Amino acid sequence: MVAEMTNSNNTAESEAGSTAAAQDEPSRDAVWEMFDKIAPRYDMLNRLLSLRRDVAWRKRMATFLQNRSAVRLLDLATGTGDQILHFMDGGADIASAVGMDMSEQMLAVGRKKMTKRGLQDKVELSCGDAVEVPVDSDAFDATSISFGIRNVVDVSRALGEMRRALKPGGCALILEFSMPENSTLRSVYTFYLRHILPIVGGLISGDMYAYRYLNKTIETFPYGDAFCELMRDAGFENTSATPLTFGVASIYYGEKPGA
Ligand SMILES: C[S@@+](CC[C@H](N)C(=O)[O-])C[C@H]1O[C@@H](n2cnc3c(N)ncnc32)[C@H](O)[C@@H]1O
């Protein structure tokens, strides 16, 4: 089904493309307000627009925690808490989790999901900004952010916060959309992003802007080794990028030094 392999290659092409497209960058200010509006339909739209690939991607991220036990997890831009649940469903040994987001409506949907699964005592969902996270330093075994880093105003600062919150030796995991390396696939995917996703997403969510914003942020965001470099600049070591489904998404991994 999926061409998944570890890739640490940077793509000069992607960086050049990112710089050119950066002129057209949408504003990240108060982007969570947009998610407040689409919260009730957010999970369903994710499944539909990714053809359920997001479930496999999220569970794949859980495999990066398989050598760690009793993990204390911090999930930033947690939205409806989907990634936390998929860490658990994917077999990660999560002792407790804190999910933070700026959208109260997304968190409200998430709290209902946690209660339905009997996880309300193990998973705390609260309001918090990914660029100024209200948690102690050196407190978590793993920090994560899925489809959220692309939305923050200051990516380096958010990565710095993920590192600060980790215990030495702890790991950060980032799941984010990326662009396929293969030029044919890249053209097909770009067509989907520009012409199909905004219409289908817009019609079902009732928010056309949200899904036009999505395609622009995906096309302009750094990926592959360019993103690993951002992680290294933020103080992570042993970084890696793992492309998923021909590169339409990637998992980034890094460790806080000093274990
Ligand atoms: C695409 S959703 C991803 C939600 C969830 N992580 C998932 O995997 O489904 C992006 C989320 O980022 C949140 N967000 C945007 N900017 C944020 C910030 N500065 N701090 C925290 N959350 C933020 C939005 O409210 C939204 O819930």
Residue type at 188 in one-letter notation:
V
Residues with CB under 6 A from ligand 1: 31-32, 35, 76-79, 82-83, 101-103, 106, 129-131, 146-148, 151-152
147-196, pLDDT tens digit by residue? 999 989 999 999 999 999 999 999 999 999 999 999 999 999 999 989 88
Averaged pLDDT of the chain: 88
CA of 247 to the centre of ligand 1 (A): 21
Burial 178-200 (b: 16+ CB within 10 A, else e): bbbbeeebbeebeeebeeebbee
pTM for the whole structure? 0.88
Domain residue spans in the chain?
Answer: 12-255
pLDDT at 29: 63
CB 177 within 8 A of CB 211: no
CATH class of the domain comprising 12-255: alpha beta
Q: Per-residue DSSP letters for 6-59?
A: ------HHHHHHHHHHGGGPPP-TTTHHHHHHHHHHHHHHHHHHTTTHHHHHHH
CB 247 within 8 A of CB 190: no
Nearest residue to 14 via CA among 176, 227, 252: 227
3-state SS assignment for residue 99: strand
Share above pLDDT 90 across residues of the chain, in percent, rounded to a whole number: 71
Q: Pick the atom of ligand 1 nearest to 153's CA.
A: 19
- pLDDT score of 81 more than 80: yes
Tokens of 232: 């290294």
Tokens of 208: 């056309």
Distance from C-alpha of 176 to C-alpha of 252, rounded to nearest angstrom? 8
Distance from C-alpha of 59 to C-alpha of 205, rounded to nearest angstrom? 25
